[in-house]
Structure 1
Amino acid sequence: MVFRTKNSRINLGDSINLNGEEMKPVPETRFLGVHIDEFLDWNNHVEKTGLRLSSIGYGIRVVSRYMDEKTLKILYHANFESVLRYGIVFWGCSSSIQLLFIIQKRTIRAPG
C-alpha cells in the first residue's frame, strides 16, 4: 500500500518493484481489525464499523424484552462499546464519525 493525498497525481501502475520482488499496490487493507485506505481518511473503517455496530444494536434490541437493565448494560459494554472504542485513537478524528454516534444513540434508547 502506498499512502498519498487525494490531490496527488501519482500513478504507480500495476506493480512496484521492491528489493527485486514484484508487488501489486492495493487501495485498502485491514490491519489488526482496522480498515486502512491509501488516503488515511478512515471513511471505509467508519462505514464497516457502522455495519457491525448496527448488527450488534439489533441483537441488543431483540433481547432487551427478556433482560433487565443491569444485564443489558453488561451486554452493551461487552459487545457494542468494545467494538466502538477499538482503535479510536487512530480513526476518532474522522469526519464521518457522526454515523457511529447515531447508531450508538439508537442502541442505547432500545426499549428495555
Structure 2
Amino acid sequence: MYKWFCVNKLSLNIAKTNYILFGRYTHQQDVAIIINNVTIQRVQATTFLGVLIDESLNWKNHINMVKSKLSKVASVTYKGSHCIDHSSMRTLYCSLFLPHLMYCCEMWGNTYVTNIQCIILIQKIIIRLIHGVNRWDQTNNLNSMI
C-alpha cells in the first residue's frame, strides 16, 4: 500500500490512519497492518467525514452524537422562541437543525426506529416551538407547514 501511495504521488498520514473490522466475529480476529514500519491501530469506531462509524454498523454512536448537537439547537431555539417571529424560527430550523439531521442520513437514517426515536422527539419539540403550539399537540400537519 505504501508503494502504491508513493507511485501515485499521494501521502498517507499514518498518525491519523486506523482500521475497523466489520462483522459479527471481529473480536476473534487480530490483523496486523504495517505501513512503512508503523503498525496501524485497530479501532471499534472512527469518524469519517463527520460520520461516526462503528464495527457493528448499528449507528448508535453517530445517532447519539447527532442527538447531542440537536439538543443544543433545541435549547437555543427554545430560549429564543418567545421573542422571535415564525419566519425567523423557520430560518433557524432550516439553518441550524436540518443540516445536522440531513447530513449523510442516507447512511445512518435507515437504522432501527428505536435508534432514531430520540432524534424524532427532538424534531417534534422544535416543530411545536416554531408553530407555537402546545407540547401535547400532534405534529403530523405541522411538518408540512415548515
The TM-score with structure 1 as length reference comes to 0.87
Of 67-76 and 34-43, more deviation after overlay is shown by 34-43
Aligned length: 110
Q: Deviations over 1:18-48 (max 9, x none)?
A: 3443111011111111111112111100011
Counterpart of 2:127 in structure 1 is 108
Tell whether 2:82 aligns with 1:65: yes
2:28 to 10, 25, 31: 10
TM-score (norm 2): 0.68
Give the aligned CA root-mean-square deviation in angstroms: 1.8
Counterpart of 2:129 in 1: which secondary structure? coil
Higher helix fraction (1 or 2): 2
Equivalent residues in 2 for 1:48-63, closer than 5 Å: 48-63=65-80
Alpha-carbon spacing, 1:6–1:103, altered in 2? closer, same or farther (3 Å) = farther
Of the two structures, which has the highest relative contact order with CA contacts closer than 8 Å and spacing of 6 or more?
1
| Structure 1 unmatched runs, 5+ | none
Shift of 1:17: 2.8
- Separation in 2 of the partners of 1:74 and 1:29? 32
Larger radius of gyration: 2
